[in-house]
Chain A
Amino acid sequence: MAEHIPVDKTFKLFIGGTFPRSESGRTFQIHSADGDLLANAAKASRKDLREAVKAARGAQADWAGRTAYNRGQVLYRVAEVMESRRAEFISVLTDMGQTAHSVRAEVDRSIDRWVWYAGWADKLHHVLGTVNPVAGPYFNFTFPEPTGVVVVAAPDDPPLLGLLSRIAPVIISGNTAVVTTGGPSALAAVTLAEVLATSDVPGGVVNVLTGDKAELLPWALGHMDVNSVDLTGEPNGLDDEAVATAADNVKRIVRSDPVGASPYMIGDFLEMKTVWHPIGR
């Protein structure tokens, strides 16, 4: 019997829980550090972005409407699947030229990071919400709610830890995400998408667009059904004019630490709602 010939993977987009190619038919090549061709990855277009925003909007109410306990479990389940596919993540990062030691460290930290955020689902309200002692006979409290649809510019480096560190604080509270990734880090993003697709994350909660971030983000910044854009992984060549269009619907623009982790980073994608009710008989 002949030796098994490997089945190469096609790297596609991840929109609404499915894996389409770019409607534009465009691809871009990703090579390993050694120069071998790793993938003809899909190069997302403006229309793909619009489809992804539509999928994210469609999924948002249900995701936010779940209990915090449930969202925490869904994220924890993602970590379980990541752990089971550890070898694949290591392979992807190794192909990109990292040393074996740093690859293992990044995969470990990434899974730990995700579990850490999963636990915040039903605790962030304690830390970020308040009961307010107003000077009158009113019960008054403030609690966080997700802002809605968030477009994330994933950091290029570190490819996996940066990606997970930016997605987790967006979706844990009930936002849905459209993640744009460029260059070699697209491999990590598509691999993560396959994890998400085979865990319990509802379709549309995380959408992954590979391609040219600098091409996609101006459309995201001007999109009137996007609530927030995370520019932490902002690419070179994104001009100020594009960022200024975010004001057209008063988007929340976030620039943060690509590898940090904090409940305040969850807070960057939250709205605070204050409710008053009289106290009386």
Chain B
Amino acid sequence: MTPTDNPLESFDIDYAPALESTAVIDIADSYGHFINGVFVEPSSGVTFPTVNPATETHLADIADGSPEDVDRAVTAARTAFEGPWGQMTGSERGRYLFRIARQLQERSREFAVLETMDGGKPIKESRDLDLPLSAAWFFYYAGWTDKLEYAFPNRTVAPHGVVGQIVPWNFPLMMAAWKLAPALAAGNTVVLKPAETTPLTALLLADVLCDVDLPPGVVNIVTGAGGTGAAIVDHPGIDKLAFTGSTEVGKTIQRVASTRRIPLTLELGGKAAHIVFEDSAFDQAVEGVVTGIYSNQGHVCCAGSRLLVEESIAEHFVERVRRRISTLRLGNPLDKNTDVGAINSADQLQRITDMVATGVAEGADLYQPECELPDKGFWFPPTVFTGVQQSHTVAREEIFGPVLTVQTFRTAEEAVEKANNTPYGLSAGIWTEKGSKILWMAEKLRAGVVWANTYNRFDPASPFGGYKESGFGREGGLHGLAPYLREQTSDAGGSA
């Protein structure tokens, strides 16, 4: 078959739009903070808008959290911790978590549409990934509530108290679920801050929390930007902090937490190597690499942003990646056919644009498929850089956008060296059909999650988190439960 005989070349792959209905959702004009079981006005009276990044339409006005608002939330959380929530048995707590899981399943369409409108991600991703995983996270940790004494042998555990949690805008509800479920299962109460560009699904979750009769104050949601987050981090009533976001902000939080000597978990940035050997299943590897970087517009901390491909197949492989991304459908995130949605915010679009300009200026070769961008909204086409040196900014710094850099290697040792040549260490991908090579690579890669012959898989039973400057602590599984518990007694070492 010559290239011109390829049916893909002549096949019309335009799909008729299949728009998800927005009739299922009801967005209020404005939202206050959710404190002690009710929505309250911000003490400052200041609000900020949240917009649909695909259309730039205004969705709602959101309360800007002041230190006074945070203080009210912490007080409510403390009261709930010392009151009803702290006095419940584990199995009683579990009932509420199971209920939340079920409610998320039942209302998943509503949440998915809202997530897509507020954040710009394709509806097929919010529908098939964010929502099922959010519900699963609550269901998984609900089952731990009455089994904590089996979780950590020879260890007597207790909750910390009031936990401060700050989550990002790339998986707004799912990140909230990852944080809330283990914290509540362990018996803590929470002050949660969703990201300023994507607060709506967390606020809809408040509805669910009311519907399941979760006692007031167990979960408090304070909206706002960095200043609100800082007020949570600084609040002396917070007993434990958990943050997911950029490495830069994470370091700032670590500085404060270390001074206050409170426990902290950080899930920060990444610059994952996606390593493809010549003996990989070629077509699967192409698909894995493409979804590994372009899903959710590359707004994924564990995105496979650095392709390391064995030199012998590099040319052919990159050609296939280019061809595949030319078939990605970019556009209305509510269209069920859409593969690449809107960039989350104007600020993020600017950052991506600047980084790509830097890549070009430093001499990397840019490829973007022909791709019509909508007139309104924030968009960036799938982008591939070849001719990339390790010293290039685009190969070193997290872009958090749909931008793939390509480097080559000749030996497995060289692949490991290049993969580990980064201050980050969140995730890595390996494609080869040779089992021993997978395990050899998996041992050598300094990353908390290694996907072999797959990529970007998540599960509540599977710990997720980074090495080095990608943070510390794990979310998911038994290891994700541990950070929300403290040891009641020391010297658990038995006979020693």
List chain A positions with a Cβ less than 8 A from chain B: 112-113, 116-117, 127, 130, 132-136, 138, 140, 142, 147, 227, 240, 243-244, 246-250, 252-253, 255, 257, 259-265, 271-278
Contacts and interface: CB of A to CB of B under 8 A. Distances in A.
B462 A142 contact: yes
Given A134-B462, A260-B493, A272 B474 contact: yes
A136 B462 CA distance: 12
Task: Give the residue among B136, B153, B478, B495 with the most A Cβ atoms within 10 A.
Answer: B478
A142 B449 CA distance: 9
Given A253-B258, A257-B490, A132 B463 contact: yes
A276 B251 contact: no
Contacts of A260: 490-493
Contact of A140 (B266, B448, B459): B459
Contacts of A147: 467
B491 A257 contact: yes
Contact of A142 (B438, B452, B477): B477
Nearest to A141: B462
B472 A252 contact: yes
Contacts of B469: 249-250
Given A253-B258, A275-B450, A132 B442 contact: no
Contacts of B136: 135
A250 B254 contact: yes
B478 A134 contact: no
Given A262-B154, A273-B442, A274-B463, 17 more contacts: A133-B461, A134-B457, A134-B462, A135-B136, A140-B459, A142-B462, A227-B468, A247-B255, A253-B258, A259-B491, A260-B492, A261-B491, A261-B496, A274-B449, A274-B450, A277-B452, A277-B454
Contacts of B258: 240, 243-244, 246-247, 253
Contacts of B155: 262, 264
Contacts of A248: 251
A116 B254 contact: no
Contacts of A262: 154-155, 491-493
Name the interface size band of chain B: 35 or more
Interface in B455-491: 457, 459, 461-465, 467-472, 474, 477-479, 487, 490-491
Given A247-B252, A274-B450, A261 B457 contact: no
B451 interface: yes
Given A112-B496, A142-B477, A271-B448, A247 B461 contact: no
Contacts of A243: 258-259
Nearest to A169: B493
B457 A116 contact: no
A27 to B, nearest CB: 33
B316 interface: no
Contacts of B438: 277
Contact of A244 (B255, B442, B447, B496): B255
